[in-house]
């Protein structure tokens, strides 16, 4: 049974087993009357004590998920309706990881170098802003965000991405996650579905499905979402995509697919949500154009400062077509009134005085060195046993290792020996089999020494 145990987590082991079996039952992956492994064999498979498994089974029996009959073992109970908003992927292994103290090398993707966040500059600016803004700035502000920030983002987008938009269209949100949540909410129709890339960031998939949507996975390959597969689907609210750097495989959506995506959206009267989460960090070739510029009426562009600066500041933005502005604003208002305003003034000044672009420029150089070092170490320890995907942009790469399958027990073994890796299979809705040899390696937050130690350890264990 596919269960992932994180022994470093603060969540009790029996609770981890309980939650994952529960998810499998609710999502329909474990059907009524299906027999569960014996507590003895599951405890062996997961390297956990039999008591831990007994405790989880007992709880599931108590809550009616499982039944235990003498002589026939433990089976899934009858009459549990598939819970439609639960995605059929292993959520628990991919929920945003809480920051916990750990002594392993964590190749988690998408984390910038937190130790290089311009702390002093940010603190000084924050203090200067607090000391100089008028008292009225401490009042409630517009749900759309602080005007100064919206204005500076519109200019920044034009300078760096060639995107032409008016500050009025820019809605400040607390990160991509909130933006996507609000979009899902305002576009919701009970008989409409959402088309999503597969594989996908599971936290964001959960954000969409938490609104009650059924989603349809559209396979992504090394060129991003395969738009030939869109045709059969109708009654679609929106399509979620990462065209500049498919997450996690790294492909760039070619123009032919971009055009057919837009055509599909026009024909089906739906929107495209473009998640542009890390395209500023492009190491090879010219910056990739946005999908937004092809049709600003059909594309909702979402940007985030989580990777450019830090995920803790919770600042992002959306470019909305005019026709959505009036429905969006009350939705944001009822959600959190507005995103915290003082940080918005700080970020506006940080952009206006050139600090953001300087910071990105500096980090891009550092990340390029880390990326090159990672590739060098992979070459040294694995020679021709691997293939890299998506290395031109971003804060992570995907590596496919010939003849190595990243099973749960291998992932667990690696963790116990000091290295945490992320199998691509965990991010798949369908076609998991195709990705069993691939892992995601996030490198931006790791020092060169940590990268070397991590890859050496990986080689030692994989070559055993
Ligand atoms: C694909 C993708 N989109 C967006 C984000 C940023 O999310 P947020 O702005 O909510 O921090 C991430 C962060 O990991 C991501 O991987």
Q: Find out whether the peptide bond into 248 is cis, omega within 30 degrees of 0.
A: yes
| Residue 216 in tokens | 């349809």
Report which DSSP code applies to 288: P
* Mean pLDDT of the region 320-324: 97
What are the φ and ψ backbone dihedral angles of 438, each rounded to 5 degrees? -110, 145
Q: Residue 347: in which H helix or E strand, if any?
A: helix 341-352
Å from CA of 87 to ligand 1 middle: 18
Name the residue among 395, 312, 392 with its Cα closest to residue 108. 395
Q: Is 247 in contact with 276 (CB distance < 8 Å)?
A: no
Q: What is the pLDDT of residues 324-379, one digit of tens each?
A: 999 999 999 999 999 999 999 999 999 999 999 999 999 999 999 999 999 999 99
Residue from 306, 310, 394 whose mutation best tests the ligand 1 pocket (most atoms within 8 A of CB): 306
Q: What residues contact 233, with CB distance under 8 A and at least 6 apart?
A: 193, 195, 216, 268
Say how many Å lie between the CA of residue 41 and the centre of ligand 1.
38
The predicted-structure confidence for 118-166, as pLDDT tens digits, reads as follows 999 999 999 999 999 999 999 999 999 999 999 999 999 999 999 999 9
Structure tokens at 244: 């500049």
C-alpha distances out from residue 17 to 14, 88, 407, 416, Å: 5, 17, 17, 18
CB 344 within 8 A of CB 172: yes
- Rounded distance from Cα 277 to ligand 1 centre (Å): 6
Residues 277/301, Cβ–Cβ less than 8 Å = no
Q: What whole-number distance in Å separates Cα of residue 226 and Cα of residue 260?
A: 10
Give me the DSSP letters along 199-250. S--HHHHHHHHTTT-EEEEEEEETTEE-GGG-TT--SEEEEEE-TTS-TTT-
pLDDT tens, residue by residue, 33-75 = 899 999 998 998 888 999 999 989 888 887 788 998 888 789 9
Q: What does pTM read for this prediction? A: 0.80
For residue 275, give the ligand 1 atom closest to its CA: 3
């Amino acid at each position: 049974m596919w269960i992932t145990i994180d022994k470093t987590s603060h969540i009790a082991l029996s609770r981890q087993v309980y939650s994952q079996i529960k998810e499998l039952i609710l999502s329909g992956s474990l059907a009524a009357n299906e027999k569960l492994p014996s507590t003895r064999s599951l405890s062996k498979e997961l390297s956990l004590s039999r008591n831990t498994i007994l405790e989880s089974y007992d709880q599931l029996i108590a809550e009616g998920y499982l039944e235990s009959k003498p002589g026939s073992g433990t089976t899934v109970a009858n009459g549990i309706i598939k819970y439609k908003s639960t995605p059929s992927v292993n959520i628990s292994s991919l929920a945003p990881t809480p920051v916990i103290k750990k002594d392993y090398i964590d190749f988690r993707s998408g984390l910038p170098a937190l130790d290089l966040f311009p702390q002093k500059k940010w603190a000084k600016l924050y203090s200067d802003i607090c000391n100089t803004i008028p008292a009225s700035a401490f009042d409630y502000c517009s749900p759309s965000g602080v005007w100064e920030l919206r204005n500076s983002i519109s200019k920044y987008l034009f300078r760096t991405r060639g995107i032409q938009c008016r500050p009025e269209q820019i809605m400040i949100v607390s990160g991509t996650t909130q933006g996507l949540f609000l979009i899902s909410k305002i576009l919701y129709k009970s008989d409409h579905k959402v088309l999503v890339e597969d594989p996908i960031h599971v936290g964001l998939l959960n954000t969409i499905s938490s609104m009650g949507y059924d989603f349809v996975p559209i396979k992504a390959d090394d060129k991003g979402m395969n738009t030939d597969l869109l045709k059969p689907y109708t009654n679609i609210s929106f399509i979620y995509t990462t065209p500049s750097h498919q997450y996690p495989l790294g492909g760039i959506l070619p123009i032919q697919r971009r055009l057919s995506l837009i055509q599909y959206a026009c024909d089906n009267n739906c929107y495209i949500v473009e998640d542009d989460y890390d395209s500023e960090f492009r190491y090879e070739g010219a910056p990739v154009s946005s999908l937004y510029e092809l049709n600003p009426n059909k594309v909702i562009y979402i940007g985030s400062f989580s990777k450019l600066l830090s995920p803790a500041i919770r600042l992002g933005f959306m470019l909305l077509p005019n026709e959505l502005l009036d429905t969006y604003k009350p939705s944001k208002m009822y959600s959190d009134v507005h995103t915290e305003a003082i940080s918005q003034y700080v970020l506006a000044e940080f952009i206006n005085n050139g600090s953001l672009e300087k910071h990105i420029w500096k980090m891009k150089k550092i990340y390029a060195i880390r990326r090159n070092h990672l590739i060098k170490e992979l070459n040294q320890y694995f020679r021709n046993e691997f293939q890299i995907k998506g290395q031109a942009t971003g804060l992570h790469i995907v590596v496919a290792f010939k003849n190595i399958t990243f099973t749960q027990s291998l992932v667990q073994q690696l963790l116990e020996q000091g290295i945490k890796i992320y199998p691509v299979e965990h991010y798949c809705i369908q076609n998991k089999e195709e990705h069993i040899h691939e892992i995601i390696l996030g490198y931006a937050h790791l020092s060169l020494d940590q990268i070397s130690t991590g890859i050496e350890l990986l080689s030692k264990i994989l070559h055993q």
